[in-house]
Amino acid sequence: MTDAAEVKNDISQNISRISSGGAGYVDARYYMEDSSETLVLYDGDLEANDTTVQSGVGVRVLWDGAWGFAATSDPSGLRSCFDKAAQNARTASELVKAPLFMGKRDPVRGSYSTPVEVDPFTVSLQDKLTFMTRLDNELKDEFILKRIVYANFMKKSIHFQNSEGSEIQKDLSHVFGMMMAMALDCDGEMQRRSMNLYSTGDGTAGWEMMTNPELFSGHAGRIKSELVELIKAPQLEHGRRSVILLPGQGHLQVHETIGHPLELDRILGYELSYAGGSFVDLDSFGKLQYGSEKLSVSSYGGIENSPGSFGFDDDGTLELDYLLIDRGLLVNALTSRAMVNEANEKAGREVFRQSGGAARATSFYKAPIDRMTNVNILPGTDGTLEDIIASTEDGIVVDNPVSWSIGSNREHFHFGCEIAWEIKDGKRTRILRNPTYQGHTLEFYRSLSAVGDRSTWKVEQVNNCGKGEPNQVMQIGHGVPVVKFDDVITGERK
C-alpha cells in the first residue's frame, strides 16, 4: 500500500511539472478516505445495509483558459493522471470561447475538522440497528401501514494542493437521519408524517446527534399522534391566505428559490442543459429587490455541525460568512474563483469582489462546480411561532415537503406539504390534509411579513442535492427560522 505522505509528495512534484510545462493553474484533491454507510429499516426489516469505501486523486489543469480534469484511484498512476488532465485542458483550449482564469492569490495553508464527539463509524452495526429498531417500535400502531427509519453516515479525509503553494487538510463527518410513518386517510389516500435529523447550529456532528431526543430520537410519538389526526382531517380548500413555514418546509423553499438561483454558474448559463438557469442576471446585484425588508440571507460557513460547513472550498478558498440578500436587496451570489472572474469580465465591471468559497465536488472523480454551502435566512425580531400565529388573521402553518415543482429558472414554484394547521383570528383551529401553496419567487418573498427569532431557527440538513453533468449529489445545510408570507395561493382548485 502506498504511504499517504508519498502520495502527497508525488502530487506536489506533478503539480510543479505540469505548471512548468505551461499550465496556468493546477490543483489536486487527494481523498485519503471517503466512506459512507446507509441503513434503512422498512417495516422493521433491514431493507438496506450499504457501505462504500473509496480513495483517489482528482486533478484539474487550467490551460489557455480551459479546464482539463482527470482522476485515478491508483496512486501509482498519478503521473499519467496529471498528463491526462493537462491533455484534456489543451484540447479544450482549442474550442473555448470564453477563456477562464483563476487570478493570482497568495498560498493558503490550513485545516478544518468537523467537531465530532462519537464517530459513527466506531459504533457497531448491532448498536445502530438496536437504536433504529427502538424508533421503529415506537412508530408501530394498528392504523400505520408503512414505517421507515433511515440513517446515513459519511466520513471524508481530503488533502488539497495547488500550484500557488496552498496545502489544506479537511476531515469531514456528516450524520443524516429520517423516520416516517404512513397510513390511509378517510378517502383511501396515503398520508405521511416524517422527521429529519436537524441541528441547532452549535455543538458536534457525530452519532450523538442521532441519539439526541430534541434533534431526532424523541419525535416518534409526536409523528404518530399527528398522523392520527391527519388521516381524519378535512382537505385544505383553495384560496389566498397567509402561509407560515416551519423550518422543515422553509429550508426547501430557501434551497430551491434562493440557493439554486444564486449559484453563479447557473446565472452564467452553465447548468441550462440539466439543472436549469436563473431569473437573476449580472445586472441584478445591488438593484434587485428580492424580498421584503425582513429578508436577510447569508452564506455562512461557521455553523459548527452542518454539512454545509467544510472550512475551505475545492479552490482552496476559505469558507466565508457573507450576505447574499441584505434586507430584501440582492447583494451577492454563491461563487468560485474562475466564475467570479468570468462574471466580472462579462459585465465589464466588478460585480463580485472575491470568491465566496462555493467550489465543491462530491468525490475525487468529479470536478468542482458552484454549490450551495449554508444558505440561511437570518433570524428576525417577530418572536416565537406562537407570536407569529397570534398576529395571523387567516392562514396555515405547514411542515415538510411531499412534492415540489420548480420553474427551470426558479422564477416560480408549487409545493405540496405533509400537514397544515389552520389559523383563524390568531389561533390554531384544526389540522388540514394535502396542503399546497404556490407563487412567483419575487412576489412571494416580497410578501414576507414575519421572521421568527433565534429560538425558532433550525439548521435543516440536505444530503441529496443533485446538480451538474455528470450528476453530483451534495450535502448542504440551511438555517431557517419560522417565516410568514401573506396573500399566498393555497390549495388546489376542484
254 and 186, same structural domain?
no
How many domains is the chain built from? 2
375 and 403, same structural domain?
yes
Q: Give the alpha-carbon dihedral of 319, 322, 328, 332, to 10 degrees.
A: -70
The structure's pTM equals 0.97
| pLDDT tens per residue across span 63-77 | 999 999 999 999 999
pLDDT of residue 301: 77
> Among 140, 219, 207, 209, which Cα is nearest to 179's?
219
Given 182, 203, 230, which residue is the final one in a domain?
A: 230
- The arithmetic mean of pLDDT across residues 78-102, rounded, is 96
| pLDDT tens per residue across span 293-311 | 999 999 987 898 999 999 9
Rounded Cα distance between 466 and 444, Å, is 25
Domain holding 145: CATH number? 3.30.2290.10
252 and 225, same structural domain?
no
pLDDT of residue 37: 98
Give residue 80's pLDDT band: very low, low, confident or very high (50, 70, 90). very high
222 and 247, same structural domain?
no
Task: Say whether pLDDT at 494 is over 90.
Answer: no
377 and 332, same structural domain?
yes
471 and 403, same structural domain?
yes
Average pLDDT of the residues of the chain: 97
Give residue 240's pLDDT band: very low, low, confident or very high (50, 70, 90). very high
* CB neighbourhood size of 116 (10 A): 22
- The arithmetic mean of pLDDT across residues 268-276, rounded, is 91
Contact 446, 418 (CB under 8 A): no
C-alpha cell at 294: 425582513
266 and 162, same structural domain?
no
360 and 215, same structural domain?
no
Given 230, 251, 268, which residue is the final one in a domain?
A: 230
177 and 262, same structural domain?
no
280 and 198, same structural domain?
no
Given 178, 210, 230, which residue is the final one in a domain?
A: 230
pLDDT of residue 51: 98
Task: Say whether pLDDT at 1 is over 50.
Answer: no
Tell me which residue range forms the domain holding 265.
239-490
270 and 187, same structural domain?
no
DSSP 455: G
221 and 84, same structural domain?
yes
Strand 167-184 with 190-196, pairing: antiparallel
Phi-psi region of 7 (alpha: psi -120 to 50; beta: other; left: phi over 0): alpha
Classify 12 as helix, strand or coil: helix
Task: Say whether pLDDT at 17 is over 70.
Answer: yes
